[in-house]
A and B are shown apart, each in its own frame.
Chain A
Amino acid sequence: MGLFSSIKKAFKKVVNGVKKVVKKVVGGVKKVVKKIGSSKILKALAIAAAVVVTGGAAIGAFGGKLATTQFGSWMVGASQKVLGGTLFGTTAGNPLVRVLQQTGNFVAKTAAKPFGAAGKAIGSVAGGATDFLGITDKATRMGYVLDPTTGKYVVDTSKTFQGEGYFTKDLSGQTLAEVKAGELGTIGTGKVIDPDTGKAVYGNITADASGALKANVGEQISTGPTTGEIMKSAAINQGFNLASSAVASKYFSEDPRGQSDSLYLEGKTPLTPLQVYASQSNINIADIYNYPTYGTGDPGYMMNAALFSQDTIGSPVNLPITGEMNA
């Protein structure tokens, strides 16, 4: 048998194996969710697989409906959360940092948005049964509505902010998406029309640690503590902590610690999922880039920007990248 025949035969086996695994996985999920058709589970699996394969942050490259679905946004949130966090530690000499240096999921930058660009053409192929652009869903979520007279999307005024003098900036007429795009200058309090329920509620808009804006609706608007109150509170807390530590050190000795054995793996921080996988698979963590791994904890899933132009993992945001990372 020739080389190519052998390849084809082996590939057929792989395809057959994948199909069996797909069936098994569909069955596995079906056990968890009752009374759901297998074809729906297959679709969910295919979507999840596309997210995992293209990389969470690169999900936009897939285009179409997937990028705008709630599930897609949720999965992308994982990668963004990790990018702003300290999953891989902060030590420059950490082998994981080296892995991240090697990794650079450039799919998001280099791949086109096929469904957005080719939507019309494919739609004709697929008999018009598809909505590749998914603009209806997206428009609804973004606070736009189709004007039947003009045939154009206009701002849905029932889903916009209503400025009533409480905001630091007049947000009236803006959608949540527009406010979010406007970054930190829009933080304030006031009357908000909840885009989800359409009800008018009082609340405020705050930014979390990552800078993402969040509308806290239904909360009491308060003036907040004064500087003096904060200082007083801090001083009391500090004094209490000092006193309690002094008492603790006097009356309690250090916690006894057992002697570690040869399999001692405990470190200062818990092992990351990637480290656990590498350890279980007997792979050197520094070489893990040479192995195909998939999942939300995989470095390839999280990277989508060009190397050195992105925020480094574990480094404080907005600090210049030093030469240490090149080592």
Chain B
Amino acid sequence: MPSPKRNPKLFVKGNVSEAAQEAVLDALDAGFTIDEIIETNNPKLRAESEFNQENLDELVSLKNQGSPIPGQSLTNNPDTPYPWETPPDITNPNEALDNVVEELLQPKAVQKVVSALAGGLPVGDISMAILYNKFIQGVINIDVLMLLAEPVMYLIMAIGEEADIKYNIEGDDMDEFDDEDDIAEREQQLNPLQQIKQDTVNKKINENAIPKNILDRVKEQGPEIRSMLSRGEE
């Protein structure tokens, strides 16, 4: 059981990456090890995308609907603006982050996020979808959207880690963070399985276990013995 030497240090950073790094380094300095921080190192489920013709057809049909003509938005009635054309509901990034986190940490939302991560959808795209939706609804403005990109990405990464999923961050990059140590560790985990497999293959048949008449017949006929699955005589 880890026994930290001291309480966490107080620090303030302007971005999540630096804050996370500081927290991890502080924990290491206080006596934790990386294994104690992550506590469990379960085998991860690899994110795998499956080709779906229906989804592709839907995407193609959406794309074929065409895009607005340049300047088309200027012809809209100014009395009925789109939500994103009106002042946003939240302009404070801290409040906006609370708003997003609150919705993201609902069971159904997490379930969908985990499902998407397991399906191979990158963290960046999921964050984009969440924040873009908030912008379209007129909840946040573009500046806040950009400011929230990093914390929301980290939160989704944490959900992925909590769900033991090997996820993509951008594109198809899930193996980018694997290095020699990870590969060696994975091989070490696989070694016992491979050993069992090898032992099974190399295991010699005990001759006493087979009746002598069958053994003699096998020796006599040799390669002429046909497999039960082979095609019969035509």
Could you list which residues of chain A lie within 8 angstroms of chain B, going by C-beta atoms? 2, 7-8, 10-12, 14-16, 18-19, 21-23, 25-26, 28-29, 32-33, 35-54, 61-66, 69-71, 74-75, 77-78, 81-82, 87, 103, 105-107, 110-115, 117-118, 121-122, 125-127, 129-132, 137, 196, 272-274, 276-277, 281, 289-298, 300
Residues of B within 8 A of A75 (CB): 8, 23, 27
- Contact (Cβ within 8 A) A19 B98: no
Most buried by B among A33, A114, A298: A114
Distance of A77 Cα from B27 Cα, bound (Å): 12
Which chain B residue shows the least CB distance to A62?
B105
- What 7 A-B pairs come out closest when comparing CB atoms? A50-B158, A15-B124, A118-B107, A49-B154, A297-B10, A114-B110, A37-B182
The 0/1 profile, CB within 8 Å of A marked 1, for residues 134-160 of chain B is 010000001001111111011101101
Could you list which residues of chain B lie within 8 angstroms of chain A, going by C-beta atoms? 1-2, 4, 7-25, 27-28, 30, 32-45, 67-68, 70, 92-94, 97-98, 101-102, 105-111, 114-115, 118, 124, 127-128, 131-132, 135, 142, 145-151, 153-155, 157-158, 160-166, 169-170, 173, 176-179, 181-182, 185
Q: Quick one: which of B32, B36, B94, B153 contacts A103, CB cutoff 8 A?
A: B94
Distance of A23 Cα from B179 Cα, bound (Å): 12
Known: A35-B181, A49-B16. A122 touches B111 (CB 8 A): yes
B92 to chain A, nearest CB (A): 6
- Contact (Cβ within 8 A) A29 B14: no
Residues of A within 8 A of B40 (CB): 65, 131, 137
- Contact (Cβ within 8 A) B7 A78: yes
Given A18-B17, A43-B38, A112-B105, 20 other A-B contacts at CB below 8 A?
A15-B127, A21-B15, A29-B21, A46-B158, A49-B19, A49-B23, A53-B158, A54-B105, A65-B162, A71-B37, A107-B105, A112-B106, A122-B110, A125-B111, A125-B114, A274-B12, A290-B94, A292-B97, A294-B19, A300-B94
Distance of A117 Cα from B111 Cα, bound (Å): 10
Known: A40-B38, A103-B94. A54 touches B101 (CB 8 A): yes
Q: Quick one: which of A22, A42, A53, A272 contacts B155, CB cutoff 8 A?
A: A53
- Contact (Cβ within 8 A) B169 A290: no
A130 to chain B, nearest CB (A): 4
- Contact (Cβ within 8 A) B34 A40: yes
- Contact (Cβ within 8 A) B19 A295: yes
- Contact (Cβ within 8 A) B1 A70: yes
Q: Quick one: which of A22, A46, A107, A117 contacts B98, CB cutoff 8 A?
A: A107
Distance of A321 Cα from B27 Cα, bound (Å): 35
- Contact (Cβ within 8 A) A130 B42: yes
Which chain B residue shows the least CB distance to A105?
B98
Residues of B within 8 A of A292 (CB): 14, 93-94, 97, 147-148, 151
Q: List 25 A-B residue pairs with CB atoms under 8 Å apart, sorted by A's residue number.
A: A2-B67, A8-B132, A11-B149, A15-B124, A16-B170, A18-B150, A18-B169, A22-B17, A40-B35, A43-B38, A45-B20, A48-B21, A52-B19, A53-B154, A54-B105, A54-B155, A63-B105, A70-B2, A107-B98, A112-B106, A114-B111, A117-B107, A125-B115, A293-B12, A296-B11
Distance of A44 Cα from B34 Cα, bound (Å): 7
Interface of A is mostly: helix
- Contact (Cβ within 8 A) B105 A294: no
Distance of A130 Cα from B41 Cα, bound (Å): 10
Distance of A306 Cα from B147 Cα, bound (Å): 25
- Contact (Cβ within 8 A) A53 B97: yes
Known: A18-B150, A39-B177, A272-B10. A70 touches B15 (CB 8 A): no
- Contact (Cβ within 8 A) B164 A71: no
Which chain A residue shows the least CB distance to B178?
A39
Residues of A within 8 A of B107 (CB): 112-114, 117-118, 121
Which chain B residue shows the least CB distance to A12?
B124
Q: Quick one: which of B39, B97, B151, B170 contacts A65, CB cutoff 8 A?
A: B39
Known: A29-B25, A294-B13. A114 touches B105 (CB 8 A): yes
- Contact (Cβ within 8 A) B154 A14: no
- Contact (Cβ within 8 A) A25 B102: no
Distance of A47 Cα from B24 Cα, bound (Å): 9
Residues of A within 8 A of B150 (CB): 14, 18
- Contact (Cβ within 8 A) A118 B110: yes
- Contact (Cβ within 8 A) A71 B27: yes
- Contact (Cβ within 8 A) B38 A47: yes
Known: A12-B124, A38-B179. A61 touches B105 (CB 8 A): yes
Distance of A272 Cα from B30 Cα, bound (Å): 21
- Contact (Cβ within 8 A) B98 A70: no
Residues of B within 8 A of A81 (CB): 7
Which chain B residue shows the least CB distance to A40?
B34
B89 to chain A, nearest CB (A): 16
Residues of A within 8 A of B160 (CB): 46
- Contact (Cβ within 8 A) A52 B16: yes
Distance of A75 Cα from B63 Cα, bound (Å): 48
Residues of B within 8 A of A127 (CB): 45
